[in-house]
Amino acid sequence: AQSVAQPEDQVNVAEGNPLTVKCTYSVSGNPYLFWYVQYPNRGLQFLLKYITGDNLVKGSYGFEAEFNKSQTSFHLKKPSALVSDSALYFCAVRDLNFNKFYFGSGTKLNVKP
Amino acid sequence: ETGVTQSPTHLIKTRGQQVTLRCSSQSGHNTVSWYQQALGQGPQFIFQYYREEENGRGNFPPRFSGLQFPNYSSELNVNALELDDSALYLCASSAGTADEQYFGPGTRLTVT
């Protein structure tokens, strides 16, 4: 079955430290990959996407993500976390073969001062 | 530039009733997708409309139906409401069928 997995419900990191939010997927073909962020009392916001090309993509607010085809992963990263990065992060996949979208269950990122 | 708007914000319905949710897409976007988000879970894809035609559907029964209008706004209709339909319903618009999506604030539906 097609799916997206975010294995960590919560990630805790100290401000200034690097952060990684993990995502793996099980979708046929060459899907499009996305990260979205949801701040408290605000809607989902687009962060970045991978379609093709360089495996490291850069997005908004200093975030980047690394695509690994052999591991079917698309981990979100940031070199130096900010307290304001604390939010709920969703990985999403677009299945081009069946015109469907799949979202992970979300990872809550807590950045402590 | 106007973002994605949804109406109503909240809605309470009784089991067995029908409901219509509305979405206005962002200016310049011709594609609208609808999602159901239960508490504590990620959005579940219901369907997508591109230029007034359904263009992909998730694992939702036929009582979930939709429309897209010439101005690219959209409606989600749910018939024969069930208690499990209680959720946040999100609308998202995009410039193309596989482009990044811009989400509205959602409609909170409660079925009693």
Contact: B56, A98; criterion CB under 8 Å: yes
Contact: A32, B41; criterion CB under 8 Å: no
Contact: A46, B102; criterion CB under 8 Å: yes
Q: How far is CA A36 from CA A20, A27, A101, B77, in A?
A: 14, 18, 13, 26
Note the pLDDT of residue A107: 98
Q: How far is CA B92 from CA A71, B31, B58, B77, B104, in A?
A: 29, 8, 15, 16, 6
Contact: B56, A106; criterion CB under 8 Å: no
**Residue among A53, A68, A54 nearest A20 (CA):** A68
The partner residue sitting opposite A99, judged by closest CB among B4, B56, B90, is B56
A66 token code pair: 């690394």
| A65-76 tens-digit pLDDT | 999 999 999 999
Note the pLDDT of residue A76: 98
Contact: B48, A34; criterion CB under 8 Å: no
B90 token code pair: 């999100």
Contact: B100, A90; criterion CB under 8 Å: no
Cα of B33 to nearest chain A Cα, Å? 9
| A37-94 tens-digit pLDDT | 998 878 899 999 999 889 999 999 999 999 999 999 999 999 999 999 999 999 999 9
Amino acid identity, residue A42? R
Q: Which residues of chain B lie closer than 8 angstroms to A49, CB-CB?
A: 100
CA–chain centroid gap for B12, Å, is: 16
Q: Is the peptide bond before B8 cis (omega within 30 degrees of 0)?
A: yes
Q: Which residues of chain A lie closer than 8 angstroms to B100, CB-CB?
A: 34, 46, 49
| B53-81 tens-digit pLDDT | 999 999 999 999 999 999 999 999 999 99
Judge whether B12 and B110 are in contact, CB under 8 Å. Answer: yes
* Pairing label, strands B53-57, B44-50: antiparallel
Q: Which residue of A has its CA nearest to B101?
A: A46
Q: Cα–Cα distance between B47 and B102 in angstroms, integer?
A: 15
Q: Which of A8, A44, A63, A107 to mutate to test the interface with B (most CBs of B within 10 A)?
A: A44
Note the pLDDT of residue B1: 55
Judge whether B8 and B105 are in contact, CB under 8 Å. Answer: no
